[in-house]
Amino acid sequence: MFADESTVMELLIYAGQARSDAMEAIAASRQREWERAADLMASSEAACR
């Protein structure tokens, strides 16, 4: 059971990182920082895999 809990925690951490990067990408795009926004979205997508 402990391994299952560890797996769930790992999934939550990655999901949180993906969400955080996506939100930062939105903020960067509002500032017209297109390259930074694209990098952050790539990071967000990578955290989902």
5-39 tens-digit pLDDT: 999 999 999 999 999 999 999 999 999 999 999 99
Compute CA distances 14 → 6, 19, 46, whole Å.
Answer: 12, 9, 9
pLDDT of residue 37: 98
Q: At what angle do helices 2-30 and 34-47 cross, to 10 degrees?
A: 170
pLDDT of residue 2: 82
Q: Are 21 and 40 in contact (CB under 8 A)?
A: yes
Q: Whole-angstrom Cα distance, residue 20 to residue 37?
A: 12
Sorted by where each begins, the domain ranges of the chain are 14-47
φ, ψ at 3 (rounded to 5°) = -65, -40
